[in-house]
Amino acid sequence: MVQIGQSTHGENIPQFAKAPHVLILEARFYNDINDHLIVGATEILEKAGATWEIRTVPGALEIPVALKFASQRKNDKPFDAYIVLGCVIRGGTTHYEIVSEESNRGVMKMSMKYDLALGNGILTVENVAQALERADKAGQNKGGGAAMAALTMLKLKQSFGLAE
């Protein structure tokens, strides 16, 4: 039984015959929060035997376009799965709603359009304390959760014969 707030991201990590190559796209706007998200994600990828690349974009709104670029990459090894990480903290204006809704809408649109095995770790929170609790691997480990989601979706995609 899992208690609220208890992370299970280290359990039942999918294993693959061939090491998956994963792109981590991060919107590095809050360095401390992103550092925690990256640690959580890369620890799960390492346990799965995956390789990864990290690319940084200015903010959460740029992640969907970067996903599109990455899914169409022709000059190097293609990505098997994608992880998006970032944080949007509510402020005193409507900017929070626009960024959180449009970045997530764009991520889902790209995932559906390009059949991407994807884990979404873009945090949408009220304050820095909430963000740190969700990002820290000793807390909710949302970076690890996004990595688990990406790997699980890749395994599902493979089970339908849509990926090697």
pLDDT tens for each residue of 96-129: 899 999 999 999 999 999 999 999 999 999 999 9
Could you give the C-alpha distances from 39 to 5, 35, 135, 144, in angstroms and in order?
Answer: 18, 6, 9, 8
152 exposed, middle or buried (CB, 10 Å; 0-12, 13-18, 19+)? Answer: middle
Supply the pLDDT for residue 10.
54
pLDDT at 29: 87
Within a domain: 10:
no
Domain assignment of residue 53, given as a range = 21-159
Mean predicted lDDT score pLDDT of the chain: 92
> Predicted confidence band at 6 (pLDDT cuts at 50, 70, 90)?
very low
Q: Is residue 12 part of a domain?
A: no
Span 56-85, average pLDDT: 95
pTM beyond 0.85: yes
Check if 21 is active-site.
Answer: no
User: Does 3 score more than 90 pLDDT?
Assistant: no
What is the CB neighbour count within 10 angstroms for residue 78?
Answer: 11
Residue 14 forms part of a structural domain:
no
Element (H, E) at 46: helix 31-47
For the segment 130-144, what is each residue's pLDDT rounded down to a tens digit? 999 999 999 999 999
Q: Phi, psi at residue 129, to the nearest 5°?
A: -60, -45
Both tokens of 12, joined, read 């039942």
In angstroms, rounded to a whole number, what is the distance separating the alpha carbons of residues 33 and 39? Answer: 10
Only one residue has tokens 């690319």, namely 55
> What share of the chain has pLDDT > 70, as a percent?
93
The owner of tokens 């000793």 is 138
pLDDT higher than 80, residue 40: yes
Q: What's the domain count of the chain?
A: 1
Residue 122, in any domain of the structure:
yes
- CATH code at 140? 3.40.50.960
